[in-house]
Amino acid sequence: MAQTSSTVSDMGSMGDTSAVETKDVIVNEKTPLPGISEKDKLRAEELKNKANEFFKAQDFQNAIIYYSQAIEANPLVAAYYGNRSFAYLKTECFGLALEDASEALAIDRSYIKGYYRRATANMALGKFKKAVKDYETVMKYRPNDKDAKLKFTECSKIVKRQAFERAIRSDDSKKSVVESLDIENMVLEDDYDGPKFENTVSKEFMVDLLEHFRQQKKVHRRYAYTILVQINKLFRKLPSLCDITIPEGGKFTVCGDIHGQFYDLLNIFKLNGLPSEDNPYLFNGDFVDRGSFSVEVILTLFGFKLLYPDHFHLSRGNHESETMNQMYGFYGEVKAKYTSQMADLFTEVYNWLPLAQVINQKVMVMHGGLFSADNVTLDDIRKVERDRQPPETGIMCELLWSDPQPQPGRAPSKRGVGCQFGPDITKRFLESNNLEYVIRSHEVKADGYEVAHDGKCITVFSAPNYCDTMGNKGAFITMGTDLKPKYTTYEAVPHPDVRPMAYANAMFGFM
């Protein structure tokens, strides 16, 4: 069979994350090409070129649309899948990125960027063993690729470290970080001019803390550790599913992902008022990672939870986990601003965060979404043993990772973890649990929120211009006892010149 060329191809090194396929490559000679006309091939190229322009403009959703159309016109070009895989990586659809990379390699086993994309997707999912194998393949064919060599080396280190930790770790013998702390003997230096408290967090401390953080100053480690120890004790007493009551005539606010964007958090408080007994809040997970002011965000949220334990609520997100924090910046930020011991203590505290909340017995709020199994009840959620790292399957996993889809039924997750659920799944869950609607977060939305599933599934995302690149608005939801959601949207505010992911390991700079 004659070789078929296509104007797709290899621009830059493997580590050049701005590269999409643009030049000529030869499609695997063994690949059959039944029914693909020259007209279809030319149309596919035009669509791919249009997708590339959207990609370069960082409009990844439109890039995905046009790569998909190119694939539909000519499904036998590996690079189309490779490019779409890269766009999926940019939108955190790691499961779909993984599928596309594998499809590209099924078409052409010599398509090296397919191994690279697949390794990157597996790395994002914390599947480092699989990532190592593909990076090894890249290095075999491109021994001078420095980026692939770096990632192979770092992934190999992580695999070895995880194996070592599993070998020495026993849940029964593992000591709490809290037990190793000696807070009383942490010296408060004479030149420390930040906020202080004696035994309990006060309103004055919190107001001063916000200003202290706004000026890019650190709270003393003595107080940071005290907040963590006290919040750990508080969280351990809470159930996995918490019940919240809005009193008659009261107001309640639900916020979505903040992702370390402290100055946007300050803007929420400016727009909607500081938390108080009369102005209660729920922050719905993903407080940290990506943004480089995550320490300031999380200590602020924990401080308000200590100040108003019955009127300030926090739910766990998928980024309140050890693997995510090590990849997306939070672990590195805590080590840079404090110590690795404190980073380990955060991991311990996150294990006790509640997984979901129910407002006035009618509205369920969770970070991710619903379930791969029917007949999950609120009591099932209450019974979840949450003191652990998020598993890859089951109720806890899906509460943190799942996403809605417009079509009925269920589908494998675009992220590679959790599931996708349709309007019929939402309707059945609400009916069987006597609920009116659900609120979730977890996804960037152009307006900061989205109403789906006939008004029964609401997404709220509170980090505007996510990662300083997405251009989205942020939003929060307010409601009274009638539980009718009202949406407030806002633009990003300026922040100090510290880029997102500034504290992340260089090998994780693929997003």
Ramachandran region of residue 377, left (φ > 0), alpha (ψ -120 to 50) or beta?
A: beta
pLDDT at 361: 98
pLDDT at 18: 44
Residue 81 lies inside a defined structural domain of this protein: yes
Q: What single DSSP character describes residue 58?
A: T
pLDDT at 291: 96
- Boundary of a domain, candidates 128, 150, 171: 128
pLDDT over 90 at 169, yes or no:
no
pLDDT over 70 at 269, yes or no:
yes
Q: Which of 148-162, 204-218, 279-293, 443-457 has the lowest mean pLDDT?
A: 148-162
Our count of domains for the chain comes to 2
* Same domain, yes or no: 334 and 446: yes
Residue 510 lies inside a defined structural domain of this protein: no
The rounded distance, in Å, linking the Cα atoms of 431 and 454 is 14
* Same domain, yes or no: 120 and 219: no
Residue 177 lies inside a defined structural domain of this protein: no
Between 173 and 422, whose confidence is greater? 422
- Boundary of a domain, candidates 109, 128, 147: 128
pTM passes above 0.85: yes
Q: For residues 248-278, b (16+ Cβ closer than 10 Å) or e, as one string?
A: eeebbbbbbbbbbbbbbbbbbeeebeebeee
Backbone angles phi and psi of 487, in degrees to 5 = -110, 130
Query: Considering just the CA atoms, what is the radius of gyration of the chain in Å?
Result: 24
How confident is residue 152, by pLDDT bands cut at 50, 70 and 90?
Answer: confident
Q: What's the mean pLDDT when you consider all of the chain?
A: 91
Q: Tokens in use for 385?
A: 């043993």
Residues with Cβ within 8 Å of 422's Cβ and at least 6 positions away in sequence, in order, are 404, 405, 406, 407, 408, 409, 410, 453
Residues that are catalytic: 319
Q: Nearest-CA neighbor of 73 among 35, 105, 101?
A: 35
Q: pLDDT (tens digit, 9 = 90+) per residue, 77-129?
A: 999 999 999 999 988 899 999 999 999 999 999 999 999 999 999 988 888 89
The rounded distance, in Å, linking the Cα atoms of 483 and 254 is 12
Give the range of the structural domain holding residue 60, as residue numbers without chain letter: 5-128
pLDDT at 508: 64
Residue 146 lies inside a defined structural domain of this protein: no
- Boundary of a domain, candidates 128, 146, 170: 128
Q: For residues 408-427, b (16+ Cβ closer than 10 Å) or e, as one string?
A: eebeebbbbbbbbbbbebbe
pLDDT over 80 at 424, yes or no:
yes
